[in-house]
Amino acid sequence: MKIQIPRHILDKCGKFLVKAVQEEVLKDIHARVPHNKQGLPSSREFLDSFSYKIRGKGIELLCDWPWIERHTEGREPFRMKWLLSEPGSPKIIPIRTSSGEIAFRTAPLRLENAWVHPGVAKFNFIERAKERMLDKMVELIQEDLPQLLEKNFSL
């Protein structure tokens, strides 16, 4: 016999999941090294980009942030091929230093000397939030167990 998880429990778990994701994002933001430009966005818009939807018997976590996959899947360092100078026509790139000054650098001519993007770190805030939500779901089901048993079993 299957006992269906009531929609009100799924709804509470969905709300809890979104809140847990936001809390885990904030943990990662606060833990990152200062001046680490590859961290998670710290804007309210990023935190508010998460929502949930109940689909059938499950909960779907949604995110409308355009580059969420870059943060959840990560990206290895790579050569920036588009930042190469052409012979006789150097490409000058303005770079803001940590002190706020602008320095100008000349892009290299050859691919083997191309600048290397440091990549994007993979973050697992969603996995941590899911684990928290599963613990919460067990707690909610235990609270609701007498009503679930009464509804699904007639003694």
Evaluated on CA atoms 36, 29, 47, 51, the torsion sign reads: positive
Poorest-pLDDT segment among 34-38, 105-109, 143-147, 149-153: 34-38
In 3D, which of 148, 140, 152 has the Cα closest to residue 12? 140
Angle at 127 between CA 126 and CA 133, to 5 degrees: 85
Residue 38's pLDDT is: 59
Which pLDDT tens digit goes with each residue over 23-72? 999 988 887 645 444 578 888 999 999 999 999 888 999 999 998 988 88
Residue 75's pLDDT is: 79
